[in-house]
Chain A
Amino acid sequence: MVEELIEELYRNYLTKSYLRGYKMDGRLVIGTLCNTVPEEAIHSCGAIPSRLIGSSNTPSKIPSWVCIYAKGVFESAIRGEFDYITGIVSSTSDDTKIHLYSAMLFYLKPERHYLIQLPYQKDGDAEEFYKNEILRLCKKLTGSDLSEDKLNKSISIYNRFREFLFELDSMRGEEKPKISGVEWMKILLSSTAMLKEEINKYLLKIVEEAKDRDGVGDYRMRVHLSGNDFFNIELIETMESMGFAIVSDDFCTAGGYYPGFAGKSLDGLVRRYLSQSACNLASENSLKERIEFIESKVSSSNADGIVILRDRGCEVCGHQCPFIMEEFRDIPTIVLDVDSGVTEQYQTRLEAFIEAYGD
């Protein structure tokens, strides 16, 4: 039953049937480019925030060496694959996201758009500034002021969503994981393609039913996956078929996306987003915060090893990888460059890794 629910969600993700339905109902679907975008605020304006994930990897208008995520989104966008979105919102979290936003404005001319200026400091001035950014975002997208009542309702919906994900993520970390890496990634990807109140209905059932699962105990090695805007299900499938149990991750499209509950009101939302540290460069001590985040994930999931899935075009991975390797030198760690997208190429190295450190 869990399997069926997840497959139903994932089919919807692939077809974008919900998003297209929202658009047909006259609702605004806003494509977002980063998990630093406060979705709750967009949601409270009556719009549907949807993190864009592309399917193409053949760049024509942006350099071939930038990250897989940016290439995929941009090329899918110019091919018209995101015909259901009315607007785009990004933030100044990293250079690629900033210029991806700019390129999309330049070539696609979306009806509505906003770039959130993310403060790097985390003091009172920064909170005030970010609060105003959210107010401006809402005004720009809808022409109306943000409503605190509506925002509080949206925050509740998102917090409920985060609670479900927290429960499911915890089940991955059990001795016999009850949710596989593929299932987890499918749920997270699906969450980009429908309203959170809709997916919450599915998640309620999935959580309840997953609790009764026996879990998988015949794995050879428990690993944490580290990376950024990762969405390659095929690679996770390959790993699981080799005997890896994917017990946690810090991807900003998955394990790094949901942590942190927002308190009620705009102040609560601001504090949640400014304290988010999963992969956010735009912070005074992003490296330290990221290492601490990975440590907490590895520790809570009892991972025996770390697989760093490094996108060679990703500036976050590019700068942080040596420090992460150094910090986790006492844990078996392997770095795979994932820019080719061909999973067969990784098998030999993963086999050697699991032979060396797995049961």
Chain B
Amino acid sequence: MDWNPLGYKNLYRELFRKHLQRQEELLKKGNKTAWFFSFAPSELIYVFDIVPAYPEQYSAYCASRGSSLDLIDESISSGYGHFLCDYFKTTVGSIISPEKATKPLMPPPDFIVDTRALCVAHHEMSEVFARKFGIPKYTVNYPYWTEDSVRNVDELTKEAEWVDPYYVSYTVSQLKGLVRFLENVCGEGLDEERFRKVFEISEKTSKLLIEIARLMMSRPTPGSQREIADLVFLGFFVLGSEYALEFAEKAYSTIKERVKKKEGVSNEKIRLLTFGIMPWHSLALYEYCEMKGMNFPLNLYVNASLHLSDSSKPFESMVRRSLHFTNCSYDLLECILKNAKRAEIDGALLLENTGCRITSMITRPIADILNENLGVPSLILEAPQCDPRVMNIERAKTQIEAFAESLM
């Protein structure tokens, strides 16, 4: 057995088909288009029948299709900084020179929603895009959680032993402000029944996605990161959709069956934790590792995209979404240790995404905490998510192989 993925490819194909079909139908009806970023309260897209587009997902698509290089260069030659988020550079490049961008382009937005649930960069991007299109935007300012505001967060569900109600209340008030903004720009009031149903779907889907992540920690590792990595699309962007729930049900059943049979993605020799935004231009690297027996039962980046949605407390759920460890101060990093132990990892492959301050500045503390608490060593690779020029794939393979040898 060389490589035996779960076979989610067809499920993703169906998911994207339904997503694009919805988009097309709503565009024809003349519904409003908006751009959203990861960690935004994406359920509201389905409550208000918005046509969503996601600069991060579109940029990842451009990276996998090879156009991101030209778009990044276009951005830099237009005066934007070298060391900004690849998603920003790719998207702004596609606005400046759409002829160089992979088709279909994102539909132009009527408005933009940004949050600081992950980074200020989302807010910066939103400001640039809104200015370029001359459209309104709304910002939800989530806290950056510290020991003063939160205690003992579960790395997967984002449930916490304690969250300061003061910050929850402030964030909820901003989310309610977002609802009012959406009512205004979409020209319709909040449909309470719809709101309730969307969050019921979100809750069911979120539970299944969390279970998939848990099952991935089984021995042998049941799936490939080539297919698990795309779960972020569900976690970040389409959690409130029926097609996400359909996907999650089938995906969960597949992985559960595999774990029951104790089948792995490959002949497992080493178990690695991975973190960092996936290098979308070089996802084959994961397949390469897995074929050599280096499996990834734990992907902290994917886990960050997940949270347990609670339909009985929808606004609090939208706040909980921001309780991922990348939005918490590093003294709270110990929350990653529980799953690192459970996954019985031998080492960690950490990706420093050039231009992303969030994932890059936290990589060394992650390496240090894994080493100090579990004696687990890490390999840190520079891997911008959309620019393959900085990440020489052959060099990366050599480094990973040498690292793996040191672990065996």
Contacts and interface: CB of A to CB of B under 8 A. Distances in A.
Nearest to B125: A319
A314 B81 CA distance: 8
Interface string A319-333: 101110100000000
Nearest to A105: B331
Given A101-B329, A121-B139, A115 B144 contact: yes
B146 to A, nearest CB: 5
Nearest to A125: B173
Interface string B325-338: 00001110100000
B121 A335 contact: no
B38 to A, nearest CB: 14
Contacts of B165: none
A96 interface: yes
B78 A287 contact: no
Interface string A94-130: 1110111111011100000011011111000100010
A342 B361 CA distance: 25
B226 to A, nearest CB: 27
Contacts of A325: 79
Interface in B356-402: 357-358, 360-362, 364-365
Nearest to A115: B146
B80 to A, nearest CB: 6
B167 interface: yes
A66 B357 contact: yes
Interface string A277-314: 00001101111000000000000000000000010111
A92 interface: yes
Given A92-B116, A315-B120, A66 B170 contact: no
A318 B80 CA distance: 5
B275 to A, nearest CB: 14
| Number of chain A interface residues as a range | 35 or more
B330 A319 contact: no
A136 interface: yes
Contacts of B119: 95
Nearest to B354: A65
A205 interface: no
A321 B364 contact: no
A312 B355 CA distance: 10
A136 B167 CA distance: 12
Nearest to B363: A63
B166 A319 contact: no
Contacts of B141: 117-121, 282
Interface in A59-83: 61-63, 65-66
B200 interface: no
B24 interface: no
Contacts of B124: 281, 315, 319
B127 A313 contact: no
A285 B137 CA distance: 10
B354 A318 contact: no
Contacts of B146: 115
> Which of A61, A95, A118, A125 has most B Cβ within 10 Å?
A95
A336 interface: no
A65 B86 CA distance: 14
A114 B148 contact: yes
> Which of A114, A313, A314 has most B Cβ within 10 Å?
A313
B83 A65 contact: yes
Interface of B: 78-84, 88, 116, 119-121, 123-125, 127-128, 131, 139, 141, 143-144, 146, 148, 166-167, 170, 173-174, 329-331, 333, 352, 354-355, 357-358, 360-362, 364-365
Given A95-B121, A95-B357, 7 more contacts: A62-B361, A99-B362, A102-B361, A115-B144, A115-B148, A117-B144, A323-B128
